[in-house]
A and B are shown apart, each in its own frame.
Chain A
Amino acid sequence: MIVATPGDAALPLASEGGVRGAVRRPHRLGPRLANLGRHLAGSVAVVLTVITITFLVTRVFAPNPTALFLSPAGNGFVSAAAAAVEKTKVEASLGLGKPLVVQYYRFIDQLVHANLGNSFESGRPVTSELLQRLPATAELAVYALVLGVSLGIVVGVIAAVKRDGIVDHLARLFTVAGLSLPQFWLGLMLLWLFFTKLGIAPGPVGRLPIGVSPPPRITGFYVVDGVLGGDWSTALDAAKQLVLPVVTLGVGLATPICKIVRSSMVEALNSDYVRTAAAMGFGRRRIYLVYALKNGLLPVVTVLAGIIGYTFAGSILVEGIFGWPGVGNYAFEAIQNSDFPAIQGFVLYAAILYVVIYELLDFVYTLIDPRIRI
């Protein structure tokens, strides 16, 4: 009865009267393009909203906007006159004296030119620092996603098929545990156990052990580059560094997926078409793994949007704990140093990333689920 999956942002719930009795329209290009246009307008609206909130918070609501963009002036060793000069400079660059509309226009103009300002800590443009750190985040994200998604799906399916069995109960215990475990704490405890206590994992020093130089850059992924360049020992070192962060992040990703796969699989297994298939004498394996699984996996696509966004925006806490030199760690350090331009740049980057991923997955959804038209 429910056509739209609850939780999908773009679709009204069946109970909201949107989809009930929806009439199938024939495939025509015109309406689809119009819908696509509406969709794109929606995402532009989201990006604009994030930008506007950022603007308002930093320029209007903040008690002292200048202070946010004024780098801490050398612990009071700078003369008052020099500090005042610096302050007027910042005020001028922000255009604080000008009307709000003009300030807003300048803010957007700078963003369009990919200018996120300079970091206090390094003095370098935030944009280039973020780009430079992207490969590290991407490497961690890809492995963590592979681990998290596959673990979540496998456990979720087994739990649903063997409902109320031991596996199901254990899976339930673990999903609730995984959802309530603070990820940074899990990371620290794994670090203590496997690095400090057992000494089998490397320390939290980033992508490579200290003193090992990265392989020549081909993809930006150290393990892949190491293998491609034939430098096996570097590849192995890089892989070892990855294990703990990937596990920490992967467990966090697996639990929501597991929960959703289980419930949608249970629903699929209880549905009429599965009973019919069983009555027609199809084998269990075929029913579970082909017919039920297809529908059971649909909601996963919806959750994936948030999860992919989360990993590629760089999990701030996990990267921070393992000293992983990605964008999340950049934000981690920026927050601890009150490096405001860097925080702002990171948030804008992440917001745009989220929107792009949401749009892409919404589109994928329409491809794999013919019942839904955007």
Chain B
Amino acid sequence: MSTVPVFARHRARLVANGEDLSAKAPWPLSLKIGVGVVGLFAVVAVVSSFWTPYPPMQPATGAFLAPPSWAHPFGTDAVGADIFSRAFAATHTDVGITVAVVALALFTGTVWGSLVGFYGGWADALTMRVLQTVQAFPALLLAMLVISALGRAVLDVILVVALIPLPDYVRLARAEIMTKKNWQFAEAARMIGRRPAGVLFRHLVPNSMRPLLANAGINASWVVATVGGLGFLGLGIQPGSAEWGSMIAGGESDIVSGVWWPCFFPGLAIFLLAYAFHLIGDALTDADINRRR
């Protein structure tokens, strides 16, 4: 609190991607693991869009409900489709939806929050009222209602799920901008003749991204699990398509007869990806806290 930086250390784009973090301190192990796993999933997502061992939707590639073997590393499901190929192809869907949701919420929340934090006034007061109201919602349940009424398309899922964490981003961005808008680097930017919007978006916002990105990591973890849950319920993703949650739903009825693989592997994928995102989010949060000390 006592030291007020005279100049921001960075120009706009350098900070936003967390580069400074890597330059100054070695990455903690959890961050390395998290980034590694997410990177692996990203590679799988890309590869799966043009190659999988079997066509993911093709039935009868082997015996029905065959346990894991060399030919089918994750086994086959009730119609004999190769679970490994389907889980592979599902990465594309799930990672895609997650990235879209988080990017949308992060972008909208940052712009909205920083605008009201910077300019204040009635828009700010209104925003805070709205956020307080929204906070008491059972948001996910409302989301289910909206998705089931609107026709259950993937785009509906992205838009509706992105709305749920939006208040957190708005709050964070607003608080950051409010504390920083009178710091000297912002003053200096004004002195050299930047217009208010320039001060906000070229100086204040880039220097406020750390807590927002940390939140995005933890949020991404939640999104992965939530999209899986919605898929399990058959909301948003067509039942039977290659998506982890709906794959688990497909195997649910067989689990009491000892067939664990149709449920196990897709769920493991959700778990690993969510865990990795959470590790990244936690590491970024810790780094942010340490910087403030």
A145 beta carbon closer than 8 Å to chain B: no
B235 beta carbon closer than 8 Å to chain A: yes
Per-residue CB proximity of A334-348 to B under 8 Å, as 1/0? Answer: 011010100110110
**B118 to chain A: which residues have CB within 8 Å?**
none
* A321 nearest in chain B by CB position: B252
Among A161-193, those with CB < 8 Å from B are 176-177, 179-185, 188-189, 191-192
A150 beta carbon closer than 8 Å to chain B: no
- Whether A46 contacts B233 by the Cβ 8 Å rule is no
**A195 to chain B: which residues have CB within 8 Å?**
256
- Whether A354 contacts B136 by the Cβ 8 Å rule is yes
A313–B142 Cα gap in the complex (Å)? 12
**A185 to chain B: which residues have CB within 8 Å?**
228, 248, 263, 267, 270-271
A316–B282 Cα gap in the complex (Å)? 28
B54 beta carbon closer than 8 Å to chain A: no
**A309 to chain B: which residues have CB within 8 Å?**
138
- Whether A50 contacts B232 by the Cβ 8 Å rule is no
One of B144, B225, B248, B255 near A196 (C-beta < 8 A): B255
A16 beta carbon closer than 8 Å to chain B: yes
One of B145, B174, B267 near A344 (C-beta < 8 A): B145
**B245 to chain A: which residues have CB within 8 Å?**
182
Of the 9-residue stretches B104-112, B191-199, B272-280, which lies at the interface with chain A? B272-280
A322–B106 Cα gap in the complex (Å)? 36
A243 beta carbon closer than 8 Å to chain B: no
With known contacts A340-B149, A347-B142, A15–B234 Cβ distance under 8 A: no
**A10 to chain B: which residues have CB within 8 Å?**
132
Query: In the complex, what's the smallest C-beta–C-beta distance from B146 to chain A, in angstroms?
Result: 5
One of A16, A182, A351, A355 near B142 (C-beta < 8 A): A351
**A57 to chain B: which residues have CB within 8 Å?**
145-146, 149-150
**A13 to chain B: which residues have CB within 8 Å?**
171, 175
With known contacts A179-B221, A317-B232, A354–B138 Cβ distance under 8 A: yes
A180–B270 Cα gap in the complex (Å)? 8
With known contacts A332-B233, A336-B234, A343-B148, A189–B179 Cβ distance under 8 A: no
One of B133, B135, B248, B275 near A184 (C-beta < 8 A): B248
One of A9, A68, A183, A350 near B141 (C-beta < 8 A): A350
Among A293-324, those with CB < 8 Å from B are 309-310, 313, 316-317, 321
A-B contact pairs, 29 of them (CB 8 A): A9-B136, A12-B128, A46-B136, A50-B142, A54-B145, A62-B151, A68-B149, A176-B278, A179-B221, A180-B271, A180-B277, A182-B228, A184-B229, A185-B267, A188-B248, A188-B267, A189-B264, A191-B255, A192-B258, A195-B256, A196-B257, A197-B258, A336-B233, A338-B148, A347-B141, A351-B137, A351-B138, A354-B138, A358-B136
Binding site for B on A (CB under 8 A): 9-10, 12-13, 15-17, 42-43, 45-46, 49-50, 53-54, 57-58, 61-63, 68, 176-177, 179-185, 188-189, 191-192, 195-197, 203-204, 309-310, 313, 316-317, 321, 331-332, 335-336, 338, 340, 343-344, 346-347, 350-351, 353-355, 358
Binding site for A on B (CB under 8 A): 128, 132-133, 135-138, 141-142, 144-146, 148-151, 171, 174-175, 178-179, 221-222, 224-225, 228-229, 232-235, 245, 248, 252, 255-258, 260, 263-264, 267, 270-271, 274-275, 277-279, 282
